[in-house]
Amino acid sequence: MQLSQAQIDFFETFGFLKFPQLMADRLDWIIEEFTRTFPEQNRHDGTKRTCVVPFIDQRMSVLIDDPRMLAIGKSLLGEDFNYMGSDGNYYTGNTGWHRDGYHEKYKHLKIAFYLDPLDADTGALRVIPGSHRLRDKYGDDLTLQMQDTNKTWDVAGADVPAYVLDVTPGDILVFNHNLFHSAWNGSTNRRMFTINMCQRYAEADIQELRDYIGTAARFWIDRAFSDTMMNEASPERMVHLEQVMANDGHLAALSAKARLEMAEPSRG
Ligand SMILES: O=C(O)CCC(=O)C(=O)O
């Protein structure tokens, strides 16, 4: 599989892409492994989001080798893109408007697998097309405007004009981390997991990558990737792991500190 130039241009312009039924042939396996990855003692009770990090690393590492995931990463980020971890979630209710990052130089993206059919009335992801473009006035102005949409425009979060990404399980959504996104009207049991990727960082900017990797300390993890993900890596997979593996040496100490300061690992 290869992305067309039109798909790449769409992603650059609007900040997202939808691939209907791209992973339909793997759906039964994905749902089974998704369910089994959540530990017994961490069953979702619907009161708040349950989140496991890293996620595909535990039972679905091979997803990172799937030609469809590789095509998305290589087409949008370059042949040597970095795998940047994953999270698995049972969401409860609304997720307010936010960006996942504010990356001015390096492109970061998220691949989202929603495992329930969703539309605008049941918690489908909504995005503000073009809001990932930090260096143009539209994206730049939104940074402040979106802090409180009621105050800015007298408009509630759920009523902000947005593109709704309806999903049928098996569909794949991809979005730039800088893109404003949210979800409204969802149940207390929305299943979803992600794969994150970014462009390879130049050596001159490696501290920025290290700082970003350090933010995973809130999940109380000592390495960015699981042993399985690293030990079973083929040479091809290793291309997408090695820059992060070489730069996560500070994570264990930061996680030790987080364990002292937090009552439980972060839920997102
Ligand atoms: O589906 C949701 O509730 C929000 C997903 C999201 O914000 C994310 O994955 O960054």
The 10s digit of each residue's pLDDT in 49-85 is 999 999 999 999 999 999 999 999 999 999 999 999 9
Nearest ligand 1 atom to the CA of 112 is 9
pLDDT given at position 125: 98
Mutate to test the pocket of ligand 1, among 89, 95, 195 (most ligand atoms within 8 A of CB): 95
Residue 16 has pLDDT above 90, yes or no: yes
Instruction: Determine the Cα–Cα distance for residues 112 and 216; give it in Å rounded to an integer.
Output: 19
CA of 223 to the centre of ligand 1 (A): 23
- Which listed CATH number (3.20.20.20, 2.60.120.620, 3.90.25.10, 1.10.3470.10) goes with 5-198? 2.60.120.620
Q: CB under 8 Å, gap of 24 or more: what pairs does 136-142 form? A: 139/178, 142/180
Is the alpha carbon torsion for 64, 67, 71, 74 positive or negative? positive
Residue 118: count other Cβ atoms within 10 Å of its Cβ. 24
The residue with tokens 């049928």 is 168
pLDDT at residue 171, rounded to an integer:
98
Is residue 185 pLDDT above 90, yes or no?
yes
Q: How far, in Å, from the CA of 182 to the mean position of ligand 1?
A: 6
For the stretch 194-234, pLDDT in tens is: 999 999 999 999 999 999 999 999 999 999 999 999 999 99
- Residues flanking ligand 1, CB < 6 Å: 91, 95, 100, 110, 112, 125, 181, 183, 192, 194
The domains of the chain are located at 5-198
Rounded to the nearest 10 degrees, the angle between the axes of helix 206-214 and helix 251-261 is 30
Average pLDDT over residues 7-28: 98
Using one digit for the tens of pLDDT, what is the confidence trace for 141-170?
999 999 999 999 999 999 999 999 999 999
Ligand 1, atom nearest to 98 Cα: 7
- The 3-state DSSP class for residue 165 equals strand
pLDDT at 20 over 80: yes
Q: Which atom of ligand 1 is nearest to the CA of 87?
A: 9
Whether the CA torsion 252, 253, 259, 264 is positive or negative: it is negative
CA distances to 33, 135, 200, 236 from 102, rounded to whole Å, are 32, 11, 16, 29
